[in-house]
A and B are shown apart, each in its own frame.
Chain A
Amino acid sequence: MPPPPPVPLVAYLTLSAILFVLGVAGFLIRKNLITMFMSIELMLNAVNLSFVSFSYHLKQTDGHLFTFFVMVVAAAEAAVGLAIILTVFKNRATLMVDEVDSLKL
């Protein structure tokens, strides 16, 4: 059995682009704050994939580090962001972003 042709780097990057655009689309389409938040995470993941691919391509570890930092920051962001979402929900009893359009109650 001949080995199948190797995967081009472009494939990884295209996958990354697709996921990113999906994230963007999710952010635009969804109305639920949490889902929108998750869309952001999806975008971050897509970017991470790019980082790792480039890291592979350039044979440098640095891309991994960036990914790592993105993860840590995403964790921090999730902690604060979700706390904010909790507070928002507490105050307005809704998660629909269209109803949360003013800073004052």
Chain B
Amino acid sequence: MDPILFAIFAGIAVVCGIVMVTQRHPIASALSLIGVMGSLAVLYLLLGAEFIAAAQVIVYAGAIMVLFLFVIMLLNAGAEPKPLRSSYLAGFLGVPMVLALMGLLGYLVKRSFPLDVTVRFGDFTGGSAKAVGDALFRKYLLPFEVTSVLVLIAILGAVVLARKEMD
């Protein structure tokens, strides 16, 4: 089962990722990104990360991306216009750079792990809500609190910015 599920959802993720990057319309990009996130959630499940998978869907797909979508709709953002002239930077530097990055990362990953290190569903049960919660409120209590403050600040910041926007 695992390899099939992996193949399916990895495929979806990659395709959606490519679509996200190549589509001109932000709504299309957003939807593809949601696709990526959804398939990643499934992969998380395969990796034994149930809680993160749920959080991925709820937080990323359910909240953050809604926000994106909402803003896109609010601004009624249309498709990007086709560039009048193609950027030299993108052509001569960008593409090779991205390819090189991919190559390097792939190489590093390959070099770091042999192929016989495998993933088997159910081998790792440390991803339950209980385990994550334990770690979150014991080991990572301070980061958690700090993050909550950060979120509070972000909320305030967003409110302030939005208010400014109103008048």
Q: Do chains A and B touch in the complex (CB under 8 A)?
A: yes
A interface with B by C-beta (< 8 Å) = 4-15, 17-26, 28-32, 34-35, 37-39, 41-42, 45, 48-49, 52-53, 55-57, 59-62, 64-65, 67-69, 71-80, 82-87, 89-90, 95-96
A19-B14, A64-B49 given; 4 more Cβ-contact pairs under 8 Å: A8-B118, A21-B102, A32-B26, A34-B77
**Contact, CB under 8 Å: A8 / B115:** yes
Report the Cα distance A8→B7, complex, angstroms: 12
Does A21 lie within 8 Å of B135, measured CB to CB?
Answer: no
Query: What is the distance, in angstroms, from A96's C-beta to the closest C-beta of chain B?
Result: 8
A19-B36, A75-B59 known; A80 and B161 CB under 8 Å? Answer: yes
Task: Decide if A74 touches B60 in the complex (CB within 8 Å).
Answer: yes
Shortest CB-to-CB span from B43 to chain A, Å, is 7
Residues of A near B52 (CB, < 8 A) are: 48, 52, 64, 67-68
Is A65 in contact with B151, judged by CB distance below 8 angstroms? Answer: no
Report the number of A-B residue pairs with Cβ-Cβ less than 8 Å. Answer: 248
Q: Given A24-B98, A80-B161, are A13 and B109 also a contact pair (CB < 8 Å)?
A: yes
Shortest C-beta distance, B119 to chain A (Å), equals 5
Main SS of the interface on chain A?
A: helix
User: Interface residues of B, CB < 8 Å — how many?
Assistant: 84
CA distance A97 to B135 in the complex (A): 41
C-alpha gap A85/B105 in the complex (Å): 32
Residue pair A82, B77 in contact (C-beta under 8 Å) = no
Give A81 Cβ to nearest chain B Cβ, in Å: 9
Q: Do residues A61 and B135 form an inter-chain contact, with CB atoms below 8 A?
A: yes
Instruction: Report yes or no: B116 in contact with A38, Cβ–Cβ below 8 A.
Output: no
**Known contacts A21-B102, A55-B126; is A10 also within 8 Å of B6 by CB?**
no
Out of B3, B106, B147, name the residue touching A7 (CB < 8 Å): B3
Distance (whole angstroms) from the CB of A40 to the closest CB of chain B: 11
Residue of B40, B115, B150 touching A49 (CB-CB under 8 A): B40
CB atoms of B26 and A34 under 8 A apart: yes
Do residues B161 and A84 form an inter-chain contact, with CB atoms below 8 A? yes
Chain B 73-103 near chain A by CB (<8 Å), digits 1 or 0: 0110100110100000010001000100110
Choose among B65, B83, B140, B164 the residue that contacts A65 (Cβ–Cβ < 8 A): B140
Cβ contacts A to B, 12 pairs, < 8 Å: A4-B3, A7-B46, A13-B112, A15-B10, A45-B60, A56-B124, A64-B126, A71-B60, A76-B155, A77-B154, A80-B154, A85-B75
